[in-house]
Structure 1
Amino acid sequence: MRERPPYLRTADVLRQRIKEQEWSPGDRLPSRTQLAQECEATEAVVRRAQELLIAQGVLVGRGGSGTYVAEPRERVCLLRSPERERTEGSPFYAGTVELGKHGSWDSRSDPLIPAPADIAERLGIQAGAYCVRTSYVFLADGKPVQLSISWEPYEITSGTLVVLPEAGPHAGRGVVGRMAEIGVTVVRAVERPEPGHANAGEANLLGIQRGALVTRIQRTYFSNDGRAVETADIVVPTSLCEIVYEVPVT
């Protein structure tokens, strides 16, 4: 078995010392020079270990001040399942209710946005074809826990009451419910999760450190005739959320 890299071993040591309450939330860690001596590592190894723990939400770096133990935040469980998708209304709202939390979101829709090439490919439309783009910040008990940018082909919803996802009589019902109102039956969703790091804009919206670990989910909804009716890029911060997939067995 290969030996773990030094920075991972050092990160384990620092994490354990925090777990044993040698340092409490809000405490400033000793200097890298001191930690390097205590951990029998180089300052470069300590720096990389701290960067990893900052990305995981264990530590917080403050420019010109030092590195501190992060204040703990309860992780929200985001269950993704066929049953959740069949709920009337937003799957996110239904999930937060089950957790005893209040789910809400801020959104902004921009109609008639030309689809970039990658979005057009996911939706099966021509690049530059008009879409309705909606940006979301999802909150649990008023705290941001998830971001999403959604794209819907304008030709599907144009002239209907559901053309804007968060406006009109069917606002907030989710893709499945809204599409049903115009006779489009959504039958499946394809999700492609992959690990990543928060950029500056995402970190600012989520209240996390730039470079913190996130899961990026590329999700696309399909109707019963095989047409893609919506695609979204979802950003879930690892330190704030746990993603659980429920797979039915028949």
Structure 2
Amino acid sequence: MTTVPTRTRVLAGAALAAGLFCSAAPAFAALTSPEATAYVVSADALNNNVAVPPQPLSTYPPGGTQTLVGLTVGPFATDAALTATTAGDPTLGTSSASATVDHLTLTLGPALAGDLTGVQATCSADPNGATGNGVIASGTLTVLGIPTTLQANAPKNTSVTVPGLGDVTLNEQSTDANDVLTVNAVHIVLLPALGGANVIVGHVECGGAPAAGAVPMIDAQVGVIGGSLAAAAVLGTVYYRHRA
């Protein structure tokens, strides 16, 4: 006959087993292989009349560094080097990206101009997730001749409203359903009434994946359910034996 203390020990053991089963299955990123993207500038502005595709553009795989020395296109002008770099390691399930330019000016119609220095966007990812940052050393936006200073090294998703014209987001960060992190050092959105503009300076994306040889979970809940079922099976077996 099973005593109350014995039953208590059985229940405790089953609970411990459930914890072990549940914690033994690690959570993996949703991608099957690591990926990364980086570019320094892009624009879709003035009712698509001034569109600048991402440049210079680097993607992983295969990765590598892409550089432009000087650029005058659409709203952008600089004589500095624009550099975009991506890399990854499928064995470890990691990726990284960076996009940099030392100095860049913007001209968005007669009402708005910008000047940015020390633009740098970076990110890195592994099977457990991604981190990143997008910063400027200094910057100004001049609206109708009135300058506004942009915050250096701003916290993520710092929003600056340009009254009557639109919004600027510094260190913009978001993560999609595949745990891919996107970082924009500077993202300018002008109102459609002004012809519209979607301008990005310093863009990176990073997504990790299970390391080679690892078995990814389909869903984190699968591990919890599996652990609970396994614990129930242990409890049932032990209880049956004690009853016998």
Shared topology, TM-score over 0.5? no
Structure with the higher fraction of residues in strand conformation: 2
Question: Which structure: larger Rg?
Answer: 2
Larger RCO: 1 or 2 (CA < 8 Å, sep 6+): 2
TM-score by structure 2 length? 0.26
Structure with the higher fraction of residues in helix conformation: 1
